[in-house]
């Protein structure tokens, strides 16, 4: 049975707050257990629940499992969601639509509360012993970079590479990345030129797409593309037996020439990119390839290091969407700053 999962969160007017749901979606998709996994929101963000359910049904779902990512059984759970589910059942009588329990009270949630209290209590104790802790966001970032500079010798990297190393470690809190990052000599130059030329950025998953700084990119006319949720990509992946991530890269190969490919989740997306370069002659300006995991991540990065196209990667199992986003955003800022902030 072709099963789809639709996870529904409350939604917020603050865009950053909605990214948490996309992280959950990315994790669920990575398990490979369901044919489709899609996000939805009750308020302030799209897609809404009805649109998400109809979307997966139109793409062939025979069963839809709706999961409320809500802690307590308030009005949304008692009234809004059940009513919407009933409407969808009436409209799609041939499809099984199931509503799961909400998150609810669980010992694991209680344990998280205990952990948060312990964290806060420890922070209070530390703060009582520390003077002049910065409170403003820019001050916090400046202090973070100061501490980072004491942990990592950025002088070991060429000048254009340092902001990337700095941004990755700041994002992950992991200085070990300084030992594993690998840069093609032309990586930054080629990436900056692509951004300045308004070439597109193609991502393997929506989490990378969501994290890239669209505000700066809008000045350069750069589009950020992710095709992993396209109906055609899903169908092609199912018929070919390939992963959706690899199929999504292949589906956008014709538009990414001279652009940037950013891969933070799927080793198969790197392998497909390498194949397209070797066998079909696509020529991206830069490949950012930092998938995380135990299966294929190490090997795919090793393949990436062997090609002549400019790349940024790291050796080992570490990586992920946040690392890919950090690299791309660092290059975007270099593109802006090198030209005095004016495109």
Catalytic positions are: 170
167 vs 72: CA distance, rounded Å: 37
157 vs 139: CA distance, rounded Å: 25
Count of CB atoms within 10 A of residue 153's CB? 9
CB 286 within 8 A of CB 311: yes
Helix (H) or strand (E) holding 36: strand 36-41
Count of CB atoms within 10 A of residue 97's CB? 21
249 vs 304: CA distance, rounded Å: 15
Which candidate, 203, 157, 201, places its Cα nearest to that of 181?
Answer: 157
Helix (H) or strand (E) holding 68: strand 63-68
Query: Helix, strand, coil proportions of the chain in percent (round to 5)?
Result: 55, 15, 35
**Which residues are CB-contacts of 25 (< 8 A; sequence separation ≥ 6)?**
7, 37, 38, 39, 206, 207
């Amino acid at each position: 049975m072709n099963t789809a999962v639709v996870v529904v969160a409350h939604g917020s007017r603050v865009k950053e707050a909605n990214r948490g749901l996309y992280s959950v979606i990315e994790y669920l998709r990575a398990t490979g257990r369901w044919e489709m996994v899609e996000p939805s929101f009750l308020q302030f963000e799209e897609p809404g629940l009805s649109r998400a359910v109809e979307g997966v049904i139109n793409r062939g779902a025979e069963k839809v499992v709706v999961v409320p990512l809500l802690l307590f059984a308030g009005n949304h759970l008692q009234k809004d969601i059940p009513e919407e589910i009933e409407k969808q059942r009436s409209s799609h009588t041939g499809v099984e639509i199931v509503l799961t329990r909400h998150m609810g009270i669980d010992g694991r949630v209680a344990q998280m509360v205990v952990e948060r209290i312990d964290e806060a209590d420890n922070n209070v104790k530390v703060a009582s012993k520390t003077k002049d802790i910065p409170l403003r966001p820019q001050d916090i970032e400046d202090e973070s970079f100061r501490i980072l500079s004491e942990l990592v010798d950025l002088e070991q990297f060429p000048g254009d590479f340092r902001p990337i190393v700095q941004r990755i470690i700041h994002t992950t809190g992991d200085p070990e990345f300084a030992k594993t990052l690998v840069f093609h000599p032309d990586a930054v130059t080629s990436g900056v030129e692509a951004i300045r030329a308004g070439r597109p950025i193609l991502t393997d998953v929506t989490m990378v797409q969501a994290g890239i700084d669209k505000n700066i990119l809008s000045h350069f006319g750069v589009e950020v593309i992710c095709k992993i949720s396209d109906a055609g990509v899903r169908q092609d992946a199912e018929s070919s037996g390939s992963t959706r991530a690899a199929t999504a890269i292949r589906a956008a190969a014709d538009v990414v020439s001279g652009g940037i490919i950013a891969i933070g989740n799927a080793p198969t997306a790197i392998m497909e990119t390498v194949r397209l370069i070797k066998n079909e002659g696509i020529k991206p300006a830069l490949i950012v390839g930092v998938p995380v995991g135990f299966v294929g991540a190490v090997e795919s990065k090793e393949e990436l290091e062997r090609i002549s196209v400019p790349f940024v990667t790291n050796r080992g199992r570490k990586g992920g969407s946040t690392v890919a986003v950090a690299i791309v955003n660092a290059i975007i800022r270099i593109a802006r700053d090198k030209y005095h902030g004016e495109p």
